[in-house]
Structure 1
Amino acid sequence: MPNAYSLDHTVLFYETEMTGQMGIGRLVDLLLLASEGHSDSLGVGSQEVQKLGLGWVITQHQLKVKTLPQRGQKVTVKTQAQNYNSFFCYRDFWLYDEAGQEMASMHSVFVLMDQEKRKMTRILPEVVAPFEVEKTKKVERLAQPQVPANPSNQKNYRVRFMDIDENRHVNNVHYFDWMLDSLEADFLLNHQLIEMNIVYKNEVHYGQEVTSIVQVDDSTTYHEIRCDATISCLAECKWQTR
């Protein structure tokens, strides 16, 4: 049985938005922080992986939100690595309130990237062994987001130095901000995200310009991040009225 890891957290004021609730990007940041803590606790954190010339890269998140935490609220994140195959690792996350009620969950897919070649590489057994996960030949066939066919809006952004992480590309969470910023303020104030399926396809680097494209269909939005003619990221979001 794979081992699990828990992290307690009190929501800080700068993690919340106009609604008083934690922003989606900050929520994913918090979930991934637990993943980092888990790896560090087992002696296979990012620094150790980097010594091998490698880095963990996320290719997909499937996020479900029941309720978003508010400023000052105490929450607990639990994470557990599930299994892996030759190229993909799968991890689950859960967010709980003080009463132990589930607030959100996320299923994520990770790959190892060769930092020099900038290509995906095979999973090294010594990197995943401490998690006590089973190797399988199965490759998950997760649903893919739909490309916006009839865009409702689009915005352009230039990648800043502060957007780049230690893997030398745009940190995945910044895509959330670009995508949601393409929606009107009234929509964001009157709707709460309940599901997001986001797929990362191609890296974006410092100084490049990206375009955030959105299609709004009632309670579903379709998002695309483009860098020139290349699709960098796709997402499909479902919303409910606040």
Structure 2
Amino acid sequence: MERQIFEVHKKVPFYEVNTLNEWHLSAMLNGMLAVADDQLDATGAGDTMMHDLNMGWVITQYHFDIKRFPVSKEPVTMTSWADSYNQFFFYRDYALKDAQGEELVHIKSSWVMMSFATRKMVRVNPDIVKKIQAPQVRGVKKFLRIPQKDYSQAIHKPYRVRYFDIDANQHVNNVHYFDWMLDTLDMDFLTKYVIDTVDIRYEREIHYGSVPESYVLQEPDPEGTGITTFHAIKTGDELNTECQLHWHLRKA
């Protein structure tokens, strides 16, 4: 089956960059997710069809490889394609390239179909994924296993879930978690280091009115040139999301 790649060209919006002129991680992810959403709509497998079936697409895991973040008003090309699917999981890739065609960001992701009636995952509907030419596979793709950490002494911040945090699936949109996690790190850290890999696993959804807390731990690399941060979003004792970010020192 020939891979169906969907492509969008745009410039990085000036209002979505940080103090160093780089595209915010969450804003960049939103832009790349929009490419996949356009593909789903164009092939008749988007929100309208899913909601008619009383279902929604829900992310379970991401892995990012980041060479650099594009900057304000930089022209970029964003692509997305269906990698494959099995009985319960749908796998999708995303790529972001600069004007010279160099890949700056690559994302691998794993999704499930969720029933709105039960709020639980259901078997992948083959009639939907065939619309976007996703080949069926037997195995389950492996993502990095994030190590369990003791967050009892970790820095943490509470966040009240607002109406504006909720998406059409009636839970906190997956992109908001990144802002909550990075907000536990101070400005000195964020301007000294830059992210090169992201691994995140979504465990349980968060709903309107909840007050989850964002936790962070830091572990410097032995050679002193980078650092790994471990993140957890919890509501009470319940784990909602866990994440591992690797950072390297910015070039002077």
TM-score range normalised by the length of the shorter chain:
over 0.9
Tell me, which stretches of 5 or more residues in structure 2 are unaligned?
221-226
CA distance in 2, matches of 1:152, 1:18: 26
The alignment of Structure 1 onto Structure 2 pairs a total of residues equal to 242
Residue 7 of structure 1 deviates from its aligned partner by: 0.8
Distance in 1, matches of 2:76 and 2:143, equals 28
State the partner residue of 1:31.
32
1:72 corresponding residue in structure 2: 73
SS at match of 1:59: strand
Match of 1:173 in 2: 175
Distance 1:142 1:20 in 2: 31
Question: Which blocks of at least 5 consecutive residues in structure 1 are unaligned?
Answer: none
Find the residue that maps to 1:134 and give its secondary structure: coil
2:234 matched to 1:232? no
**Separation in 1, partners of 2:66, 2:143:** 18
Q: Deviations over 1:45-82 (max 9, x none)?
A: 11111111110000000011101011111101011101
Please tell me whether residue 210 in structure 1 is matched to residue 212 in structure 2.
yes
1:189 maps onto 2:163 in alignment = no
Task: Kindly state the Cα deviation for residue 221 of structure 1 after the two structures are TM-superposed.
Answer: 0.3
Match of 2:224 in 1: none
Aligned AA for 2:242?
L
Which residue type is aligned with residue 197 of structure 1?
A: D
SS of the equivalent of 1:172 reads: coil
| 2:45 and 2:132 in contact (8 A); partners too | no
- Cα distance between partner residues in 2 of 1:179 and 1:148: 15
Q: Which runs of structure 2 are paired with 1:64-213 in the superposition (5 Å)?
A: 64-149=65-150, 151-213=153-215
Q: Is the 8 A contact 1:146 1:235 kept in 2?
A: no
Runs of 4+ in 1 over 2 A off after TM superposition: 146-152
Q: Describe the SS at the equivalent of 1:226.
A: strand
Residue 31 of structure 1 deviates from its aligned partner by 1.1
* Kept after mapping to 2: 8 A contact 1:152/1:216: no
| CA RMSD, 1 decimal | 1.0
| 2:138 counterpart SS class | coil
Match of 2:223 in 1: none
Q: What is the letter of the counterpart of residue 185 of structure 1?
A: M
Mean CA deviation greater in 93-102 or 124-133:
124-133
**Residue 191 (structure 1) shift:** 0.7
The Cα shift of 1:173 comes to 0.4
The letter for the 2-side match of 1:167 is N
- TM-fit CA distance, 1:140: 1.5
The Cα of 1:147 is off from its aligned counterpart by 3.1
Q: Percent identity?
A: 33
Aligned AA for 2:125? L
**Deviation at residue 13 of structure 1 after TM alignment:** 1.6
Aligned mates of 1:126, 1:78 — CA distance in 2? 23
1:152 is displaced (CA, Å) by 4.0
